[in-house]
Structure 1
Amino acid sequence: MHMNSERPAVTVLGLGMMGAALAGAFLAGGHPTTVWNRSAGRGDDLVAQGAVRAAAVGDAVAAGQVVVVCVRDYDAVREVLEPVRAALAGRVVVNLTSGTSQEARDLAGWAAGHGIGYLDGAIMMTPQGIGTSEAVILYGGEQELFDESRPVLERLGGGATYLGPDTGIPALYDVALLDIMWSTLNGFLHAAALVGTEKIPATAFVPFATGWLGGVASFLPPMAEQIDAGEYAAHDATLETHLSPLGHLIHESRIRGVDADAPGRTRAMVERAIDDGHAADGYARLIEQMRER
């Protein structure tokens, strides 16, 4: 692919909240932008900002050098792109639809078979953050294709982060980072339920929670080094040391009528590791149980 202008024409397929935000960012960056959505009635605001609304997906594809797809799932991506695969040859498709790493790799194989440039991406931001410096979007695919597309992709904000030629890696990062998000949110909800039994408002507790999260984040780099090395010697607290406060958390939860299943699962992992002879190891040792299970 060769971008033939300073502001290459972009097509956005899919005008849900995220797709509309992507199109808005391209318009704000000065790119001729064509939009299409399977169901009619979306995109009026974008048209008012200067976008061209295509009546058919084929017309939309023909208008863009870069075709950005953001729809429900990978099945929907196939349904949209398969009928216009011939028109996509020589263009670059940037798929920002959420899915699995295998789905991304399969779609990349389909695109390669039809002479279509393909990048797969994962958006780690809400629609409201698209186009801002805080936006994080991860990409995988052919390096040359990414480098040529980067000036366009950077319009979405925060720079474009390239993770290498494997199109499945952004989706893997996506689910792994969401794993951290859900675990953190669930931990906060559990903690808020605990302090709430004493009529302490969640808003009063949240400064303590956010301050503590900063401390927890500082634990991650040394843990990551231990994981990569496969060596789990305790530098701060042993697994045996963790066992007692986990018991306190479970007891406190039960007597206050708060669900204790999550801390119970954590304690069970610690107990198994101790039973396996790792009482003196650090918390990072538990990754081996997660891998086994």
Structure 2
Amino acid sequence: MNEVTIIGLGPMGQAMAKTYLNNGYKVSLWNRTKSKADNLVKEGCFYDRSITEVIKRSQLILVSLTNYDVFWSILENLKTDLNGKVIVNLSSGTPQEAREVSQWIIQQGGSFLSAGIMVPPSLVGKDDPNSYTFYSGPKKLFEQYQADLAVLTTTDYKGEDVGLAMLYYQAMLNILYTSMTGVIQSYALLKAGKINAIDFEPYTHEFLKFLPTLIQQANIAAEIDTKNYDGSQQNLKMMLAGAKHVTETAKEANIDFSVPKSIEALFQNTVNDGFGGNSTASIFETLYANGD
């Protein structure tokens, strides 16, 4: 029987445990709050209050915690080495944090893969084309355990640099957070105008379906890679004028306008740097001004 240990039983950890259990795995659990393991134990999982004992039970150990600080607080004081253990960390963090943890685990005799799971708990273990997880670290190690990891979601291996999974993960979260914030900001604007968010929702859905077409037509990725920001169809000065109107409308509505104001400021700074006649993609030059 295949075995796996899961450390951390938030919604994601619980979803992973249930998925492995349903796929015939012997599942061992650890969580600081034992009550979160109770139902899983009734279903057939093993739980021990000692994280050291739980780690001894499986070669493959999946960690699902809030962040790397919690990871360190739990694992740094282990009373056992990690010889032969494979730690797959699905906790959120930065690329550098993943590299530092990897070095420590290797020093303890273990191996490490970093992972960024791109689905909510409800889609773990489901056959869904949008369900996938980024992985990075030693390729041979990933290939050895890919079948086990694919029980959760489709696997997307990004490379030997253990920080790459977190880089892709945080880039995707940046798109998520800014997009969701933009939608909610618009709903706040509408509510100030006595319009229910639910009445505007169909427009939101239709626009978000159209957005990939706009991005593709704007040729944003290619323009950034070539630094050729074609403003012949729509330039940043025009976009800045529109951004100012969004900010002013939010002010008139007496709602928080920090989100549109930050976009306006970004556009203005880029125009001030001489890109007013270029495309919107030229804001990359401001964003990346201190990049490597």
Cα gap change, 1:98/1:275 in structure 2, threshold over 3 Å: closer, same or farther? Answer: closer
Cα gap change, 1:13/1:182 in structure 2, threshold over 3 Å: closer, same or farther? Answer: same
TM-score, normalised via structure 1 length: 0.90
Pick one of 162, 185, 195 that aligns with 1:167. 162
- 1:73 match: 67
1:167-197 C-alpha deviation (Å, 9 max, x unpaired)? 1122222222222112112211221122223
Cα gap change, 1:194/1:80 in structure 2, threshold over 3 Å: closer, same or farther? Answer: closer
Q: Secondary structure at the match of 1:42?
A: helix
Relative to structure 2, which stretch is displaced further, 276-285 or 37-46?
37-46
One-letter code of the match for 1:36?
W
One-letter code of the match for 1:168?
G
- 1:129 match: 123
Alignment gaps of 5+ in structure 1? 1-6
- 1:15 match: 9
RMSD, aligned CA: 2.0
- 1:225 match: 222
Pick one of 281, 285, 288 that aligns with 2:285. 288
1:188-242 C-alpha deviation (Å, 9 max, x unpaired)? 1221122223322101101111211222222334201111112211253111221
Q: Percent identity?
A: 29
* Distance in 2 (alpha carbons) for counterparts of 1:57 and 1:198: 54
* Distance in 2 (alpha carbons) for counterparts of 1:54 and 1:144: 31
Relative to structure 2, which stretch is displaced further, 274-283 or 243-252?
243-252
Q: Secondary structure at the match of 2:243?
A: helix
2:100 is the counterpart of 1:103:
no
- 1:195 match: 190
1:211-222 → structure 2 map (5 Å cutoff) = 211-221=206-216, 222=219
Pick one of 106, 114, 117 that aligns with 2:111. 117
Conserved? CA contact 1:8–1:66, under 8 Å: no
- 1:155 match: 151
Relative to structure 2, which stretch is displaced further, 93-102 or 216-225?
216-225
One-letter code of the match for 1:192?
Y
Conserved? CA contact 1:10–1:67, under 8 Å: yes
* Distance in 1 (alpha carbons) for counterparts of 2:24 and 2:279: 52
* Distance in 1 (alpha carbons) for counterparts of 2:54 and 2:246: 56
Relative to structure 2, which stretch is displaced further, 62-71 or 103-112?
62-71
How much has 1:275 moved relative to structure 2? 2.9
* Distance in 2 (alpha carbons) for counterparts of 1:167 and 1:240: 41
Conserved? CA contact 2:52–2:79, under 8 Å: no
Cα gap change, 1:246/1:94 in structure 2, threshold over 3 Å: closer, same or farther? Answer: same
Q: How many residues align?
A: 286
1:20-44 C-alpha deviation (Å, 9 max, x unpaired)? 1111111111111111222322312
* Distance in 2 (alpha carbons) for counterparts of 1:94 and 1:28: 20
Pick one of 257, 271, 274 that aligns with 1:274. 271
TM-score, normalised via structure 2 length: 0.90
* Distance in 2 (alpha carbons) for counterparts of 1:75 and 1:135: 27
One-letter code of the match for 2:36?
R
One-letter code of the match for 2:287?
M
One-letter code of the match for 1:217?
P
1:57-68 → structure 2 map (5 Å cutoff) = 57-68=51-62
How much has 1:120 moved relative to structure 2? 0.9
* Distance in 2 (alpha carbons) for counterparts of 1:72 and 1:253: 34
Pick one of 88, 91, 107 that aligns with 2:85. 91
Alignment gaps of 5+ in structure 2? none
How much has 1:56 moved relative to structure 2? 1.8
Q: Secondary structure at the match of 1:276?
A: helix
